Each structure stands twice: as structure tokens, then as C-alpha cells.
Structure 1
């Protein structure tokens, strides 16, 4: 285990300590950080490897990692592993090496005012008193109930305008909605055009459905219409994916004229648009969505992950017509089946009581 020399110290600490092994292991981890044996951003070995070396069971190591996470020493991500957290330990200020900044995901802050934890506890309790538990814990209607779709239409109206309820769906997150829209408009081998510097989520969708991504150059306002026109003439894409407002990851926002120019190119090439809009409602005066400027050409997705919380697993989808709504709903059902009942009830309650706008304002 020469690759992990600190494990020998951990083993010695465990052999000498009268305390529970998992607590001793968490203490030893903290000491390794303070001594500089482990630094911010260092990846820890797999838990099973640690358990085998220390001669203990996997459950004990898991409990130790849980305790270390509670102390703010480590972060863990499924598929990536466990890392020493930036800022971990009392002497982190002594570290002069480069810090590790994770840019793979951006999250809204958890508001302290209003106190989100207290709100959730109170509202969940109220929901359980007022609604049938069997209904909350059962499978839901794909695309949301009539009331949930009406609430969704009202939430996104400031950006896309008034929409009929039959053109609105509720999806368990934006990624499943985008996957449903893409799969509805494409076949394997088709081309999707997007920004050359693109949101990673569209890359995973394209890979899953065996689609070809072609990038378009951008300027300070985002995708350039003349470049889109050139790419469309050359590659004949089936779909355009874009984030016109606060683009991820460049943060570029299209002006109104740029939006009109992009739509003109799409119309000329008979191109449907998947518009991803996580951020507009964070702005005081958001520009109109592409879906507001061209109702018939744009499928619009607005997640609540950035405006309220990713934990709600909710996105609102506006489609060009009722037929497209039925097709995308069928695709969502195939991909994700339905929303979670308890989260849907909490989201609806926040929309009904105005709490959603209070939390949005705080974020």
C-alpha cells in the first residue's frame, strides 16, 4: 500500500485506541489532513481497499466516511470517488498548493432566510395531514396532474407568455425532458446542432441516442446566426439545442435581436429548437424566451433546479401543440415514468402558497 502511506498510520491508531473503530478512523483521517499527508482534492482509495488493509469490515469504513463527511472533511460523488474537501481541517490555510474547484455542477444556495429546512418540515407535515398517503406514495400521472400543469404554466408565463394547459408537461428534471424531446425529433445518426462550447448534458443525451453533435461558433451574445446558417446548410441537422439566457457554461445571453436572427435561420432550414432555460427567472427582467417568439418551432424546458432546488426533481415543459405534448409525454414515460408524488406535492404547495416566489427571491 505504498501508494497510500497514511493507511499504516490509520491502522496503528485503530490498534491503540479504545474508541469505536469508525470514530478512530475518522479522527485519523482528520489528523492526516492536518499533518499534510492528505491535501485538498486528494482522492481516497476505495472503501473496500481501506477495509481490507485495516482488517475491518466495509460497513465500519462506510460509517467512518459518513462521520468524516459530517465534519466537512470529505466529499463523495457516485462514479467519481471520495475526495478531501477544499477547506477541510483546522490548518487548511497552511496549504500553498493549487486548490481544486469542481465546475462540473452548479447549485443554487440554500436560503437561510426564509429558513428552508423549517419550511420543508412544516409543509411536508401539512401535506401528510391533508393528502392521502397511498396517493402520494404511488405512481403518478406522467406529465403531471391538471393542477400541476396549470401551476407550471403560471410559473413560466413571465418568460414564455400564456400557454394552454394541454401544451404543458411536468417532468422529473430537465435532463429527462430534454432526452424525451431529442428522442421525439431524431433517429440514430441524425445531427443535432448546438454551441461549440456546450452544456455537458446534451453530450450525454447525444451519446445515448447515437446522435452527432455539431458545434456552432459564438460571440459575446452566444451562438452566431451566420455560423448557424453555414452549419445547417452543410450538415442538415434535425434539431437545434440552445440555452439563450445565461448559457451554460459561458454565461452568454442573447439579445432580443439575436434571438430573432437565430429563429429566422431555424425557420429557413425547417429546424426545430429545444430551448433549455434554467436561469431566466433569476433575472429581474428576463428577455423573452425563443418559445415566446416562435410558438410553433420551440420545445421549452425550465427546470426548478436552479431557481428553487435540484432536490425537487421538477421541470416544466412547454410544447408547440397538443400532439407534440402527447409524443413527448410518451417519451418521458419511457425514460423516467413519472414524477415522485411527495416532491410533486411539495412543489405544488410552494406554488400555491407563494412560497416558491419567496425562495426564488432569496436565491
Structure 2
């Protein structure tokens, strides 16, 4: 383990390519092997440049690249440190901690008897269907016609202006994102993302060889002035954003903001990839961004939050000209979504069961958010009456690293805000708490009580109280 700032000096002798990338790759390898442990302080830019015989600018570029990859983070006045592993920050209880904890980590939806009974009934109906053999065979890459129609009906209920010819059935939202970027963006292109965003976009971009550039945000999400500046400076190909109940900040873009974002995207010929899987929770949300930009916007949603994560079914609505490319991307990635699960989904949409589930989840989350507002009085956080998560600002002297570790010892799982960061310093000393995952409101209230009591004290005191 390397624990002192001047200990780490990578060997670049057998590494081809730009020096700054070689440094970043060496850092990634040492983190993966454990030679660089989470929390290790790295050399200053000037000191590492001296040790390697390169310019300070080269080291600065290397550290910036490592930050973009989520490997390190800098703290003003303290230095640059190796980040904690993403898996742990997303809610894994540290080894040796209290197991069977209360999980506010991953954003699972609340589920109960409605989902169980509807799934059981659908499987029984499918088992007795004359169409059973077709559900075991290959389907078109974008989904069977009936399933594409159900996806279009589902997205229209969310306010999207679409039809079956523009709809594609995907294997969940992540697969939809992969298909969109694989089909429409080329390796080496720059994509813009919110400076705090869904963590799955970063490894996806790395896999496709895309450059990720963060865009500044405010209480409504992406700032138009920051987006315009990024378009001028980086010539990006696409923007990925979450305009409704943004993850993790809960921001909701107003109608005028959506108009401004769409206008900028049109002016710079920017493909707009709209991830709107929480939209069903906001009854009065403004129209989807895709409606403002019908010729160059992709709308992506997923059944994971509204229905059930295990379905692994999602939907894309795209301009007709882009549909063939997206179908080819589906073929290259998963060939097709599962016809059997797409049939369950279609039955639920056709019979209004999907709408019932959406209403029940919104009602359940309203109660859980109300409990959070009551129990976390005196703390600063961004919530929404029906959101599945909240964005908590930690009181001094707490850091997100301390909070995740101490709460884990107390049996409560939380996600560090830095997991969602694409810009240096973003998300620091924040927690995202996913209120939908615990089984019921009683458990939610207990877990929030533990969080409130823990954060009311200092980290050293709280760590000793179980």
C-alpha cells in the first residue's frame, strides 16, 4: 500500500502513446491491483512531473483524465486522493460491518402484492397462450410489432409524441443508452453530461471510446449558458441528460428551460439523449425534451422503476430516420429484448396494470418523502414529493467518505455523492438516499432515524455508537 504523497511513481518505459494517458492508465492498473488503495494521497503535479521528467502540464492532463474516469478526486488545500471504489460508494456495506442493513443505496422501486399478483397472472396466461412458441423464438431486433405498439402506448402515456414505427423495445434503460450511443456517436466523439449524473453513463462512454465532458447545473438541471459554452468549446456530438427528477439531484426542468436546451441543441446539431425513467412519478411534468426536438432527440425510459427491475424491458422513441441504426445497434448488443418479458410488459400496458403500478408507486413514495421531511428536519436536502431518492448535504465536519463508512457500521447503506460526479469536486460531502428500496415505511423511518442521529454527532463520536 502507498500511503504517503510522494510514494507513487509509475514506470512509463514500455507504454506507447501520449504520456498523460500512460500516467492515467498506470494509475488505473495500480488501483485495480490494489497497489494504490482508496484514500491514498497522490504526489503533487509538480513533484510527479519532476520524478517522471515530464512537464507539469502533462501531469495535470493525466490527473484530469484520471478524474474524468472516476479514479481520483482533488480537495482544495489537501491534495489529490484515490477515490473509494464505486461499488462500495453505491451502497455496499464494508467487510465486517453489520449485515442485513437498511439499504438506501441502489434506486430500487417499492414493490408489493400488485406486482407479484400481476406477474403471476401474466405468466399463467402466457403459459396457456397459443402464441407460446413464438415467444420462445427470435423476434425482430426492435421488438415484435405488438410489443413495439405497447412500448409506443406506454411512452405516449408519459407525454411522448411517438408511434409504433418510432418505438424500439430494449433490454432495460442501460441497453437503450448503449444502443443510442453505439448507433449515433462514433469513437473519439465528445458527449456532454450533467456534472452530477447517473453513474452508468461513464463506463458506457469508456467502452465506446467516447470523451465525456461535464456541463454545469443549477436547480433546474443543465444550465443553458454552460451548454452553449460547451458546444462552442468541445464540438460535442450528443448531450445525455435527465430532465425530470434528475439522478441524483431531483432537479426538474421547467418548460422554458426545456425550450432553451432544445433550441441550443438544434443550433449546434446536437443529438439529445433524454433519460426520463422517473417521469411517471411527476404528474405535472412539462412535455419531454424529445417533443421540442423531434428530428434529433432520443427518448429513453425503462420498466425498472415504474414496473419491476427484473423485467429488463425498456423503450426508445426516436426520429424515424434513426430507427434503422438503432435496430442494428440492438442486434449488435443483445439481438433483441426477451419476447417473453416483452409479452408480460405488453399485457400490463394493454390492461392498465402499468398505470396502476405507476400510481401506487407515486403514492408510496409520497409517504416516504413525507417521512424524510419530518425526520430530517434541520438537515439540508433536495427532495421531491414523489421521488424515489433524496440528495442530502452533510453537516460539517462530515465528509461523504466518513458518512458512508460510519453509517455502514450502523447497518445503513447510503451512496456517496461523488459516485455521481463527472466534474472534480461535484457531489463532495453529499449522500444520495434511495427511499424506494427498503421494504416498507416502518423500515424507512427507522433507517432515516439512524441517519439523523448519526449525523447529529461528530464522525469520531458516531463511529463508536452502535
| TM value normalised by structure 2 | 0.55
Question: Retained in 2: the 8 A contact 1:159–1:287?
Answer: no
Distance 1:83 1:139 in 2: 43
Distance 1:347 1:83 in 2: 38
Question: Retained in 2: the 8 A contact 1:170–1:316?
Answer: yes
Distance 1:284 1:83 in 2: 41
Q: How does 1:312-331 map to 2 (within 5 A)?
A: 312-321=311-320, 323-331=321-329
Question: Retained in 1: the 8 A contact 2:143–2:339?
Answer: no
Question: Retained in 1: the 8 A contact 2:297–2:319?
Answer: yes
Q: Give CA deviations for 1:17-68 in whole Å, capped at 9, x if unaligned.
A: xxxxxxxxxxxxxxxxxxxxxxxxxxxxxxxxxxxxxxxxxxxxxxxxxxxx
Distance 2:97 2:286 in 1: 38
Q: Give CA deviations for 1:45-96 in whole Å, capped at 9, x if unaligned.
A: xxxxxxxxxxxxxxxxxxxxxxxxxxxxxxx9xxx799678673xxxxxxxx
Q: Give CA deviations for 1:199-243 in whole Å, capped at 9, x if unaligned.
A: 111111101011110001101111100011111100000111111
Alignment-derived partner of residue 430 in structure 2 = none
Distance 1:249 1:271 in 2: 24
Question: Retained in 2: the 8 A contact 1:160–1:291?
Answer: no
SS in 1 for 2:347: helix
Distance 1:350 1:320 in 2: 26
Q: Deviation at 1:186?
A: 1.6
SS in 2 for 1:266: helix
Alignment-derived partner of residue 267 in structure 1 = 266
Distance 1:186 1:263 in 2: 19
The one of 330, 337, 346 aligned to 1:339: 337
Q: How does 1:195-344 map to 2 (within 5 A)?
A: 195-321=194-320, 323-344=321-342
Distance 2:108 2:138 in 1: 28
Distance 2:342 2:318 in 1: 20
Distance 2:314 2:111 in 1: 19
CA separation of 1:342/1:209 partners in 2, compared to 1, >3 Å: closer, same or farther? Answer: same
Alignment-derived partner of residue 134 in structure 1 = 133
Distance 1:301 1:290 in 2: 11
Detail structure 1 runs of 4+ shifted over 4 Å in the superposition: 80-87, 99-102
SS in 2 for 1:349: helix
When Rg is computed on C-alpha atoms for both structures, the one with the higher figure is 1
Distance 2:152 2:144 in 1: 12
Distance 1:310 1:84 in 2: 29
Distance 2:131 2:194 in 1: 46
Q: Give CA deviations for 1:241-281 in whole Å, capped at 9, x if unaligned.
A: 11111111111111001111111111221111111110111
Q: Deviation at 1:164?
A: 3.1
Q: Deviation at 1:134?
A: 2.5
SS in 1 for 2:304: coil
Q: Deviation at 1:118?
A: 2.6
Alignment-derived partner of residue 109 in structure 1 = 110
CA separation of 1:165/1:85 partners in 2, compared to 1, >3 Å: closer, same or farther? Answer: farther
CA separation of 1:353/1:100 partners in 2, compared to 1, >3 Å: closer, same or farther? Answer: closer
CA separation of 1:158/1:345 partners in 2, compared to 1, >3 Å: closer, same or farther? Answer: closer
SS in 1 for 2:107: coil
Unaligned runs of 5+ in 2: 1-87, 362-466
Q: Deviation at 1:132?
A: 3.5
Question: Retained in 2: the 8 A contact 1:189–1:212?
Answer: yes
Distance 2:128 2:145 in 1: 22
Question: Retained in 1: the 8 A contact 2:183–2:328?
Answer: no
Alignment-derived partner of residue 353 in structure 2 = 355
Alignment-derived partner of residue 443 in structure 2 = none
Question: Retained in 2: the 8 A contact 1:111–1:359?
Answer: no
CA separation of 1:216/1:332 partners in 2, compared to 1, >3 Å: closer, same or farther? Answer: same
Alignment-derived partner of residue 453 in structure 2 = none
- Please give the root-mean-square deviation of Cα atoms over the aligned residues, in Å: 2.2
How many residue pairs are counted as aligned between the two chains? 271
Alignment-derived partner of residue 9 in structure 1 = none
Question: Retained in 2: the 8 A contact 1:159–1:292?
Answer: no
| TM value normalised by structure 1 | 0.70
Q: Give CA deviations for 1:164-206 in whole Å, capped at 9, x if unaligned.
A: 3211111111111111111122221110011011211111110
